[in-house]
Structure 1
Amino acid sequence: LMADLEYDTVNHIPNYDETRTEPTVFPSKFPNLLVNGSTGIAVGMACNLLPHNLREICDAIVKVLDNWEIGISELLEIIKGPDFPTGGTIRGMDGILDGYSTGRGRVTLQAKMHVESLKNNRQQIIIDEIPYGVIRKNIVEEVAAAVKDDRIKDISDVNDHSGRQHKVRIVVDLKRDADPDVIMTQLYQYTSCQITVSMINIALVNRQPRTMGIKELIQHFIEHRREVIVRRTKFLLRKAQQKAHLLEGLIFAVCDIDEVVKLIRSCKTRDEAIVKLRQRAFRIAPEHPFAPRIPEVLMRKAEKGALLTQVQAEAIGRLQLIQLVGLEIEKLVDEYRKVVEEIEGYEAILRDPVLVDDIIREDTIEMKDKYGDDRRTEISGGVSEFNMDKLIAQEDVVVTVSHEGYIKRLPVGTYRSQGRGGRGIRGTESKEGDFVEHLFVANTHDYLLFFTNQGRVYERRVYDVPEMSRTSQGRSIANLLSFQDKEKVANVLAIKDFQKGEQFL
């Protein structure tokens, strides 16, 4: 993230109390916004960039470098979708495609569950991966609340067994003969085991907020990396040129070491020695014993007598005589040649943008090989619609319809048998002048046909009828069905299913 920060790769600004400076942006080798995600809110706008798999993002960067005009469909073959550190399953590709194309989308994220069988025909649902940002404790509390409110039945207990061995392990104990598929569907509907996450790809481009798709985000990162590499190369070039400049002065001094030592000893102060060093012309004759080792460019400078610059003279003046005498010409020349090669390499990079992209490619592949890991979040084909037939358990209920058009259902257990002379219980509380006109037992999965005084028939499932207490008046059928003006129920019929070819008269 902060690699090459010391090479003047990014701009710096004063910190809050102006005691030091801080970078305006990190010279990261990977797009942190895409890999780790980011969430923020400001005045009138917010961003929510989702995390992605480092390996996939690195492959996409290389692909965009190879083809700047690459399409979203090709990128989707590489980047499967967001990759959350907590795993889970993303349902459907539509939200991902919207987010990658326009910068805005919504994805459905589900927990991962599996079923474990126990003795006595009992089972457990194990939640071992939860949606990103969801707290385990909240899921446990939501499951308990759903059971208490009778939204989810057939659950006997729920506990969080997460620990060192299992980072996430929420155990949902089922009652005997419960259908785990139904319970899992209910867990997705009534708890945070399924959430919707918004993708809002807003980032600052030249200090202006912009909404961008995945391709544009990668392209801006590449542009950022190009600037970082150019600035780093310029910095290293300056340092290499400065080093080569100092080495030139040291080579000239070592080739005439006796005179240099004599000159320094004749001076009373270091400043005086520096002045006299600058006044001396350094020559290297062709017959000089070191001449064969000296680079040609330095020999040409020494033919006319090379004069030291202030920087070179100060570098020599700072050395103690024993250090100066101990310098070896071979090591100085080898180091000089190496620095010259580095200078040529840096200049080549600055001349050729292709070499800059090659460096980005190499850095990206290195990041992928060193830190890349497998995807944790799975992508499924599509969002499955909740099947209410699976959500609602099959059980017999009592349906009542009053004369004034109020309907409700009650569990059969609300009514109990009694002996002779016993005192019954009210099955409903009606307002004055109202009474139960239709009462029958039906299964929650049966169909109800409502025949009206205007010759129409309406169809609803029994489980669409609200379940209420025995003392409740019920709900107006007009709220359950779209009646016309002055339309009322004439009769109600419960059937198991519709048989082809049958008619009701």
Structure 2
Amino acid sequence: MARRSSAPAAPPPGEGRVVDIDVAAEMQGSFLEYAYSVIYARALPDARDGLKPVQRRILYAMHDMGLRPERAHVKCSRVVGEVMGKLHPHGDTAIYDALVRMAQSFSLRLPLVDGHGNFGSPDDGPAAARYTEARMASAAQVMVADLDEDVVDLVPNYDGSLQQPSVLPSAIPNLLVNGASGIAVGMATNMPPHNLVEVVAAARHLVEHPAATLEDLLRFVPGPDLPGGGRIIGLDGVREAYATGRGTFRTRATTRVEAITPRRRGIVVTELPYGVGPERVVEKIADAVKSRRLQGVSDVQDLTDRESGLRLVVEVKSGFDPEAVLEQLHRLTPMEETFGINNVCLVEGQPRTLGLRELLAVYVDHRLEVVRRRSEYRLARARERLHLVEGLLVAVADIDEVIAVIRSSDDAAAARERLMAVFELSREQADHILELQLRRLTRFSTLELETRAAELRETIAALEEVLGSDERLRGVVSDELAEVAREHGTPRRTVLLEASGAAAPAARGARGRGPAVPLEVPDSPCWLLLSATGLLARTSGGTDDDGPPPPVPAGLPGADRSAHDVVVAAVRTSARAEVGAVTSRGRVLRLPVVDVPALPPVHGAPSLAGGAPLADFVPGLAKGERVVGLARLDVPEGAGGLALATAGGTVKRVAPGEAPAREEFEVVGLKDGDEVVAALDLPDDGRDLVLVTSDAQLLRFPATAVRPQGRAAGGMAGVRLAAGARVVALGAVAHGTEDDAAVVTVAGAAGALPGTEAGTAKVTPFAEYPAKGRGTGGVRCHRFLRGEDALVHAFVGAGPVAAGAASGAAVPLPAEPGRRDGSGVPLPQAVVGIGGRVG
């Protein structure tokens, strides 16, 4: 009888075993794996295509599904299922959230998904995926272009059953254009959107000049361009972020003051800071009013709709200054927010913090690699096709013998070997001939094949030139970027301001405290200024409330001395007064001075960087109507009054007196087809009026020769015009100051589009022009060169004189004075406005 063993039987492998592990080591290893996964596979974008893995997989899946812009929308749940099942093994909620963000025009500057349905708002989330539909936007097509031409590396999906791109070709610099945000483990990214046209211009400059510095690139990318518009106040933090990858800037809502009722004004908000919704602003305003921290607000209404867009109306109580209330709103509500830039992204698999130049350099290197690989792929395909065409040419040249060889062969292998031996063909050429149907082979003509071979040789030569020359390769990349900007670029939406009219938050005290400026603005003397670029501003006033405001130079330099603008209209007034904006249709629109931003002095002179667009204050202009000057509304006896000139040669002085109480009224009776071209506020009668015509005639006569008339009068004959000529400028020079005044004329082609031709300019001392009688033809003030037939700009007034371009930059005028009837000197760029010393 066998003895039983007393030892227990061993458990089956894998069952009942207890393994002792170190908890600290296990936690450390597991946490590192989790952190690695979040950083590299979920939260941070790649610096090359600007996409996180889930975004990249969504676009690739939609491309693979054929959801092109010209195709119909499909349910978002179908796209989410395709991405989750094949490429992204995570929750459907995360995938759908990423898809929704790529379709939101208020989140991305250039949306990559064309959504149909409720995709949410800054205040509310989207509808469920089963209710919404989507397809690729046109910009997404550019992101995935040429994927089938071996331009990027393919990597296995999560289970190794499929291939997916490790990065998209991305002909759009998506990371800078659309920005990014994400929170990883131990790091985060927060990048603002930018304007596509500006970023492409900087990228092209870097392509053509690889050694370009950050200062060079800042000429093309001045700052972020947020999807909702708004204003960025102060650019020091932006420049710091462009240099180091980290910085902050303040965004502010776009507002204007309007008459809500005949006796009450309100603040209308048309654009909000990035990521801020109107419901959140309304809630914060209500809380601040209830807690009595916000004063002067009687009501707030959200009138936003699809037709007019965002419109938030904050009604101001009577007796309160809307400007002071607006400052409280900036401090106490999300109408002013701070955006922290943190440019963290993946570069060669490593998280790095990059400045503007580094971000562009990584993208440019990526595009150079994409175009190089695409050219290599196309070159290989073209060589293969040329090789086959050359074989067909041999076969067609002796088609009968080819057919005989094939028919006399026992099988395809024998036919291949005999064709290769008889006609000296390669295996690929022989196989291509054998695979062709006989009827197709006979249709090939020698001429058609030779033409096709010549085309392939040209293609091969062009591709070899691209691959053999770094300069040519960079040219292709630059040209493709320019085409993307032309097709998908849009104008800038966000206004960039070096400084605000109000003090910075740090100087105003802690956020949430009482108002920093008095609700009642003191009625101190000031100048109301209109610039050549359409900015309206007032000076901060003089030191003596009873004295006149200090004089203003013609050119107003910014704080960094690089920005520049020209004052083209100015009127002496006070902070709590109203002035009139004279339009080309002979109307005067009331404009409260207190509503206009005040300019802080910069190096002894005000800066128009804190001004506001004129359209914010005169929204009632008709189509084609423009503001031609500023004027006092109540003109005292003894003052010169308002002088204006029309294109038809009429001049008028409006009799002194009080203006009507209406918001708008007429000051001249215009004939059919005529319009006002200029308006000046004359302090007294002791001046000469000067009219300049398009055919380069200048007429100077005393202001006393024009009898003051009532507002309904049509004026008097000012200058005798030749056929086809019109008045282009009106000036006024005080008696005794003729030696300090100048005449500036800019000539060009009358038929050229405004701003397309720089033209020629001439500066002449005003004293060289004799006075003549009103209603005469004047004297010549400019001799035209070849290609010139008209004066496009003219100025007569006190010097020194400054000229400005549409960008606000200064345009240098000729330093040497010209002859009275001489020709001009070519300008470096087109002029939009000329101004002299004010006051």
Structure 1 and Structure 2 fold alike (TM over 0.5): yes
The residue identity in structure 2 corresponding to 1:207 is G
Q: Retained in 1: the 8 A contact 2:233–2:499?
A: yes
Specify the alignment match of 1:158 in structure 2.
300
Measured after TM superposition, the shift of residue 20 of structure 1 is: 2.1
Q: Retained in 2: the 8 A contact 1:202–1:210?
A: yes
Specify the alignment match of 1:315 in structure 2.
432
Measured after TM superposition, the shift of residue 392 of structure 1 is: 6.0
Equivalences for residues 87-486 of structure 1 within 5 A: 87-267=229-409, 269-280=411-422, 282=423, 307-383=424-500, 384-386=503-505, 387=508, 390=516
Measured after TM superposition, the shift of residue 106 of structure 1 is: 0.4
Specify the alignment match of 2:148 in structure 1.
6
Measured after TM superposition, the shift of residue 391 of structure 1 is: 5.0
Specify the alignment match of 1:429 in structure 2.
none
Q: Retained in 2: the 8 A contact 1:120–1:176?
A: no
1:409-453 C-alpha deviation (Å, 9 max, x unpaired): xxxxxxxxxxxxxxxxxxxxxxxxxxxxxxxxxxxxxxxxxxxxx
CA distance in 1, matches of 2:516, 2:186: 43
Specify the alignment match of 1:77 in structure 2.
219
The residue identity in structure 1 corresponding to 2:219 is E
Q: Retained in 1: the 8 A contact 2:327–2:515?
A: no
The residue identity in structure 1 corresponding to 2:378 is L
The residue identity in structure 2 corresponding to 1:180 is P
Q: Retained in 2: the 8 A contact 1:121–1:177?
A: no
Measured after TM superposition, the shift of residue 321 of structure 1 is: 1.2
CA distance in 1, matches of 2:339, 2:385: 54
The residue identity in structure 2 corresponding to 1:333 is E
Measured after TM superposition, the shift of residue 132 of structure 1 is: 0.9
The residue identity in structure 2 corresponding to 1:385 is A
Q: Retained in 1: the 8 A contact 2:195–2:225?
A: yes
Task: Compare 376-385 and 328-337 and name the one that shifted more.
Answer: 376-385
In 2 relative to 1, CA 120–362 (structure 1 residues): closer, same or farther, beyond 3 Å?
closer
- Report the secondary structure of 1:118's partner residue: strand
Measured after TM superposition, the shift of residue 270 of structure 1 is: 3.6
Measured after TM superposition, the shift of residue 126 of structure 1 is: 0.8
Q: Retained in 2: the 8 A contact 1:278–1:308?
A: yes
1:162-208 C-alpha deviation (Å, 9 max, x unpaired): 11122211111222222211211111111111111111112212111
The residue identity in structure 1 corresponding to 2:362 is H
- Report the secondary structure of 2:292's partner residue: coil
**Identity across the alignment (%):** 37
Specify the alignment match of 1:464 in structure 2.
none
CA distance in 1, matches of 2:413, 2:266: 87
The residue identity in structure 1 corresponding to 2:465 is A
Count of residue pairs brought into register by the alignment: 369
CA distance in 1, matches of 2:260, 2:516: 23
Q: Retained in 2: the 8 A contact 1:51–1:84?
A: yes
Q: Retained in 2: the 8 A contact 1:105–1:198?
A: yes
- Report the secondary structure of 1:182's partner residue: helix
Are residue 67 (structure 1) and residue 209 (structure 2) matched?
A: yes
Measured after TM superposition, the shift of residue 269 of structure 1 is: 4.1
1:448-477 C-alpha deviation (Å, 9 max, x unpaired): xxxxxxxxxxxxxxxxxxxxxxxxxxxxxx
Measured after TM superposition, the shift of residue 72 of structure 1 is: 2.2
Query: Gaps (5+ residues) in structure 1?
Result: 283-306, 395-505
Are residue 47 (structure 1) and residue 189 (structure 2) matched?
A: yes
Specify the alignment match of 1:422 in structure 2.
none
The residue identity in structure 2 corresponding to 1:85 is P
Specify the alignment match of 2:760 in structure 1.
none
1:262-300 C-alpha deviation (Å, 9 max, x unpaired): 2222345444433332232x2xxxxxxxxxxxxxxxxxx
The residue identity in structure 2 corresponding to 1:329 is T
Measured after TM superposition, the shift of residue 327 of structure 1 is: 1.2
Q: Retained in 1: the 8 A contact 2:324–2:515?
A: no
Measured after TM superposition, the shift of residue 389 of structure 1 is: 5.5
The residue identity in structure 1 corresponding to 2:302 is D
CA distance in 2, matches of 1:275, 1:41: 65
1:355-375 C-alpha deviation (Å, 9 max, x unpaired): 111111111222222222211
Q: Retained in 1: the 8 A contact 2:180–2:192?
A: yes
Measured after TM superposition, the shift of residue 380 of structure 1 is: 0.8
- Report the secondary structure of 2:385's partner residue: helix
Choose between structure 1 and 2 for higher RCO, CA contacts under 8 A separated by at least 6 residues: 1
1:29-62 C-alpha deviation (Å, 9 max, x unpaired): 2210001111122221111121111111111112
Q: Retained in 1: the 8 A contact 2:320–2:519?
A: no
1:471-493 C-alpha deviation (Å, 9 max, x unpaired): xxxxxxxxxxxxxxxxxxxxxxx
- Report the secondary structure of 2:442's partner residue: helix
- Report the secondary structure of 2:261's partner residue: coil
CA distance in 2, matches of 1:379, 1:367: 24
CA distance in 2, matches of 1:221, 1:256: 53
The residue identity in structure 1 corresponding to 2:150 is D
CA distance in 2, matches of 1:382, 1:241: 60
Specify the alignment match of 2:808 in structure 1.
none
The residue identity in structure 1 corresponding to 2:432 is A
Measured after TM superposition, the shift of residue 148 of structure 1 is: 1.3
Over aligned residues, Cα RMSD in angstroms? Answer: 1.7
Q: Retained in 1: the 8 A contact 2:208–2:474?
A: no
CA distance in 1, matches of 2:210, 2:402: 59
TM-score of the superposed pair, with normalisation by structure 2 = 0.43
TM-score of the superposed pair, with normalisation by structure 1 = 0.70
Specify the alignment match of 2:816 in structure 1.
none
CA distance in 1, matches of 2:262, 2:190: 47
